[in-house]
Structure 1
Amino acid sequence: MTEPISVQLYTVRDALAADRDTTLRRLAEVGYRSVEPFDPTTDPEGFRQVADDLGLSVSGTHAYALLSKEPAEVFDAIATVGTDLVIIPGGIAHEEFTTPDGLARTADLLNGLAEQAAGHGMRIGYHNHWWEIEPEIDGRHAIEALADLLAPGVFLEIDTYWAAVGGADVPALLGRLGERVLALHVKDGPVVKGEPHTAVGAGVMPVSEILAAAPAARRVVELDECATDVFAALAESHAYLTSLEGS
């Protein structure tokens, strides 16, 4: 794996809102060399300058904004932030993942966005939660049925924790999805809805087996709600994942 371990900035959203530059510096000091923004339209020029100064690359970006703003404006911001991987992290009604017709509409939406993204030299991906995993379509998780309907260039960023919460055998799911999976959200905890997350390696997730099932996928640490100090947990997560690389 040559891509550096990344961190989804939603993990430090409160600190980021209070002091973006100091927060990014703290992440770099922990050892992160890559980040994944959740709103690339917030001061993209200023963000890129700070990231460059700190030696931080952008592994990809979430882009809810594509569902509500003028796409060209959003794609321009993403280009400034510095990535070509654009991820839709929700914003689609949960019910759409419970029927074949709903999945077809979802695929049409993502495929349409992918066509627009291609004009900017970018790719569209989709990030799951539990509601794309719990429903089954013809005996498979809904995310698998959706993958069959996506254009070849549309990728998946599998949130491994929410996939487990949704009832998936995560390594097996990753094996079935194969090269469609370009990135993983790596997180840990009790695998219970509503319970806070822990540092990666401190919960019950089979992290090493998950990473082995998708060895080429980018690894992005995210802790939606943390049971301990979030920066300490991010440092522990980075150290744990780095130790797995060396084992």
Structure 2
Amino acid sequence: MSGQAVPPVAAQLWSLHDDAAKDLLGVLERVAEIGYTAVEPISLYGNAPSAVRATLDRLGLDVCSAHVPFPSGDDAPAILDTYRELGVATLVWSLEPEEFSTLGGILAGAERINRAVANAAARGMRIAYHNHYAEFVNVFDGRRAYDILLGELDPAVVVELDTYWVATAGLDPAPVAAGLGDRLEFTHLKDGPATGMDDYMVPFGEGTVDVAAAARANPAVKWHIVEADRSRQDMYGLLRACYDFLVGAGLATGRRPAGAS
């Protein structure tokens, strides 16, 4: 990635949700050992934010962002308080696939996200939008649902592009990422057959997605985040292989040289 900054690599903890539900702090230990610089949590599994923060600090891990529901309803204060205490600056979530089946659904979803933006801003936090594939499959008057949504969102909403679901929708993730410009700050990188939501993920380079091209596509990206929704392989081994792929190719920076034990 000559001529542009190389983003650090983070692990999305959905990949390890079964283990994290039993021992989140132990999972953080193992992720740090692999060499990841940060995590993107989906839950604290009953742990106090202060306890998780203390473990992160001890391990030298950052929190690049957190996947939590948009703080736009009655639960907004609790969500914002929890993740502000953890030290999270950006909260990431998605709309449901059925919300993209009608134009009205998209517009209503955008309103909900924009309320979350205002709530988060009052606490010094931001909102990011994470896609699946319905955003790219559904088209209204020649415009993809994804483009309609982004046009309706507050410009303060940044983008986390899940490159795998873009590929599942039949598009090449690299030009999609490039076209998002400075709004794209996070990428979710994964590999597999790119056939549907129940896919099993494989190490980078063993599936159908050109992960390297997606990772190189947009110099505005601040974090490359590795995620495997499910796999038939040991998940820690898979996360290590993906880490080595990115760091070894100079596509991301980590805390351990690629291939080192």
TM-score (structure 2 length as normaliser): 0.88
Selected match of 1:85 from 82, 90, 98: 90
Which digits, 9 at most, give the CA deviation of each residue in 1:28-73, with x for residues without a partner?
A: 1110110000025742121111111100000000112736652111
- Structure 1 residues 40 and 109: CA distance shift in structure 2, 3 A: farther
| Pairwise CA distance, 1:170 | 1.2
Percent pairwise identity: 32
Q: Residue 235 of structure 2 is aligned with which of 227, 230, 242? A: 230
- Matched letter for residue 98 of structure 2: E
Amino acid at match of 1:59: C
Counterpart in the other structure of 2:79:
74
Contact kept? 1:40, 1:78, Cα under 8 Å? no
Does residue 141 of structure 2 align to residue 141 of structure 1? no
Q: Pick from 190, 196, 204: which aligns with 1:200?
A: 204
Q: Look up the equivalent residue of 2:85 and give its one-letter code.
A: T
Offset, 1:138 = 3.0
My pick for the range that moved more, 196-205 or 148-157, is 196-205
Is the contact made by 1:126 and 1:157 (CA closer than 8 Å) also made in structure 2?
A: yes
Cα separation, partners in 2 of 1:17 and 1:41, compared to 1, 3 Å: closer
- Structure-2 separation of matches of 1:63 and 1:69: 14
Matched residue type, 1:63: V
Counterpart in the other structure of 1:26:
30
Q: Which has the higher contact order (CA 8 A, sep 6+)?
A: 2
Q: CA RMSD in A?
A: 1.9
SS of the residue corresponding to residue 126 of structure 1 reads strand
Match of 2:11 in 1: 7
Contact 2:24 2:44 in 1 (8 A): no
Aligned pairs for 1:73-152 (under 5 A) are 73-88=78-93, 90=94, 92-152=95-155
Q: CA deviation at 1:141?
A: 2.5
**Could you say if the C-alpha distance between residues 87 and 120 of structure 1 is closer, same or farther in structure 2, counting changes exceeding 3 Å?**
same
3-state SS of 2:180 partner: helix
1:2 positional shift:
5.2
Q: Deviations over 1:177-213 (max 9, x none)?
A: 2222111110111112222001223212111211121
Following the alignment from structure 2 to structure 1, what is the Cα–Cα distance between the partners of residues 80 and 45?
9
SS in 2 for 1:157: strand
In structure 2, the partner of 1:215 is 219
Instruction: Return 5+ residue gaps in structure 1 as ranges.
Output: none
Which deviates the most, 66-75 or 46-55? 66-75
Structure holding more helix per residue:
1
Instruction: Tell whether 2:36 aligns with 1:53.
Output: no
**Count of residue pairs the alignment pairs up:** 245
- For 1:41 and 1:51, the matched residues in 2 are separated by 15
Q: TM-score, normalised by structure 1?
A: 0.92
Q: Where does residue 169 of structure 1 map in the other structure? A: 172
DSSP-derived class of the 1:86 partner: strand
